[in-house]
Structure 1
Amino acid sequence: MSQKRDDHAPGAPGAIESMSFSLAGLRAGFVRCTPIALGVAGYGFVFGVLADRAGLSAAEATLMSATVLAGAAQLVAVEIWTDPIPVLAVVGTTLVVNLRYLLMGAALRPWFRHLSPTRAYASVFFTADENWALTIGELRSGSRRGAFLLGSGLAIWAFWVLATAIGVTVGGSVERPARFGLDFVLTAVFLVLATELWEGRSTLPAWTVAAVVAVVTARLLPGYWYVLCGGLSGSLLRAAWYDG
């Protein structure tokens, strides 16, 4: 059975008429995301440690975190980092991992098309999995604070870069960071955030299909194709559920 979207419900894209972009919205996003950013810092510390072991200097690792801001992609990059650097392998693998941002950006479009390109694209640069989920929940609740994504992203960025710098500096003295559970921090944080995206039993088929496709793809294909395949299958089913 298909389900029709109520375009007049609070937070529904059809009900959007305008978006604000203010310092208050930016501050709200930063403050709301700070506890989450502290969790991300644990993951950033792990990246710094691994970057040190891969031979990156403190300046190189910190610059990567400041300009790339993609935890999973950066970890994949340092895992295959050698001398000479396998440029095609690094670029190709990180491209696959980050293709999920196409879906995440599309989910933001109903709201962000009301912002100027400068504000929209500046905000999207600071998009990570965690603050994206937080922002989607905020906008779906009926909020029109367009700067919320930028503010929350700045919180993620600041703690991520700082933690990377600390991790790469003290990396030589840390043995097996996984034994402290630091490698699971990002997963745990996102699982908690994912609960805010739950819209009720009507979303269960899409969540289920995405999970099953991701698991099957992970077993059949090497690398991180399961990220894209799982997200895309769930999104397509959800779209068909509304429009069919």
Structure 2
Amino acid sequence: MTLSSAYDDVADDYDEWVGAGAVLDDPTFAELVGDVAGQKVAVVACGQGREARYLATQGADVTGLDASGNLLAIARQHEETDPLGIVYHHGDAHTLDGLADESFDGAVCHMALMDIPDLAAALGSVARILRPHGWFVLSITHPCFKTPATGEIVDHVDQSVRRTVGRYFAEGYWDGPGKHRNPLPVGAYHRTLSTYVNTLTAAGLTIDRMAEPSLDTPVWREVPCLLYLRAHCTT
């Protein structure tokens, strides 16, 4: 099987952008994941390994999977430099081939589901690899406030900044915000919030918690930039 990814062409730039060899520092993600010591955890669309390294430092037995061979090569280089016992697979998030049924206590997908074309296939595969009542934590750009048509306006009275959104119901591929941060990628797949919730439910994943953290910027103090969910497998 030959796999390729838009991230193959920008792997080095992406690694530098997120922090070469860095461990993910995301309090909201950490809170939703919780105590993973001794658990077997899959990282779907693991990229250059930031989330995998975080989970491994917390005592998890971690397997990462990504479609980008170039990002995986970088992740493996970081693993050689600072061994944490992480195993990386070159694979498709739609199928998670190579990951056995009911073989993981938990799974994560950090800032990647909006890059994956077939949401139902990806979530169905996540449910397949989870053990009964296994957990899943995901984070995405907020589907309500990062739509295919967005902008910012400045109040002429108090100079406060407000977010404008449009084309919320226009689901499908669009050149997302990263497209304009040359040379970093890439477009994204916009979906409504209800599509995310209903597709999780159809896959047998029940939502336990949601988080919408405020960020310390003029716009993102007013509305959330990111959406986090924790779910569990209902079987």
Larger gyration radius, structure 1 or structure 2:
1
Q: TM-score range by the shorter chain?
A: under 0.3
Of Structure 1 and Structure 2, which has the larger fraction of its residues in helix? Answer: 1
**Larger relative contact order (CA 8 Å, sep ≥ 6):** 1
Of Structure 1 and Structure 2, which has the larger fraction of its residues in strand? Answer: 2
TM-score w.r.t. the length of structure 2 is 0.26
